[in-house]
Amino acid sequence: MTIARDLGTGALGLVIPASLLTGWLEASLPVPLLAMVCYLIMAGLVLANLPAHWRELGWANRVTLGRGAIVALLAGTLADPDLLARSAFPLAILALLALLLDGVDGWVARRTSTQSDFGARFDMELDAFFILVLCLALLLLDKAGPWVLAIGAMRYAFVIAGLRMTWLTDPLPESRRRKAVCVWQVAALMIALLPMTGTTAASWLAGSALLALSWSFITDIRWLYRRASA
């Protein structure tokens, strides 16, 4: 019951800003609808992967869930490219809030001694979806070509490859490099989306994010391959 209440609170926390977005920024109806669909899919995945013995999400995962509601709202704006173009600053503030909360959930987990494999996975998959949303926004605004989707798709390509090459699914050690690359990806894509950032600068920023991500993935894949070979 507590988990259902948490997910319901997250849905309510999405409905209120979505309504404000529709009224204040004159967003079209598909925006809140797509946002809610994204949130419901996320909630379904949380329920499907939650450890069976858990009776509540815990505060760290609640923070991640709140961040997920923000990301779902940003995903909803993809249904209205005109809204993306004319309301870049308010949406950038939302994206910045999502980025800042990315560090809060881990801090809360450490402070409350509630670190878990589920929480780490929840956080990582939400990061991947957030990055994909920012990439799609850049593409819709014609600030980068289709190649920018490689940034958002790389995580999912890695997961699919792991279905065949199972050594890719082995656990990786904690890495500051991986976290730094993730933060740079989000920051670079957010800056690229701002109105004052021209197409050339946006492409360079997104390109730097793609190079950093490629280097990080290659480093991890090499480590996993060597470990499997040994």
pLDDT, one tens digit per residue, over 194-218 is 888 899 999 999 999 999 999 999 9
pLDDT at 140 > cutoff 60: yes
How many CB atoms are located within 10 Å of the residue 28 CB? Answer: 13
CATH label of the domain that carries residue 183: 1.20.120
The CA distance from 81 to 155, in Å, is 25
The CA distance from 45 to 195, in Å, is 34
The CA distance from 11 to 2, in Å, is 14
Express each pLDDT in 88-128 by its tens digit.
Answer: 888 888 888 888 888 788 888 888 887 888 888 888 899 99
The CA distance from 216 to 181, in Å, is 7
What is the reported pTM?
0.90
Least confident of 1-10, 47-56, 148-157, 208-217: 1-10
C-alpha 228 chain-centroid distance: 29
* Per-residue confidence (pLDDT) for residue 23, from 0 to 100: 67
Q: In 3D, which of 121, 137, 128 has the Cα closest to residue 31?
A: 137
Contact 84, 140 (CB under 8 A): yes
Least confident of 7-16, 17-26, 44-53, 99-108: 17-26
Can you read off the two tokens belonging to residue 116? 């878990």
Q: Which helix (H) or strand (E) holds 70?
A: helix 59-76
Instruction: Name the domain count of the chain.
Output: 1
Question: Which residues form the domain of 192?
Answer: 3-229
- Long-range contacts from 14-23, C-beta under 8 angstroms, 24+ separation: 14/39, 14/69, 14/72, 14/73, 17/73, 18/73, 18/76, 21/73, 21/76, 21/77
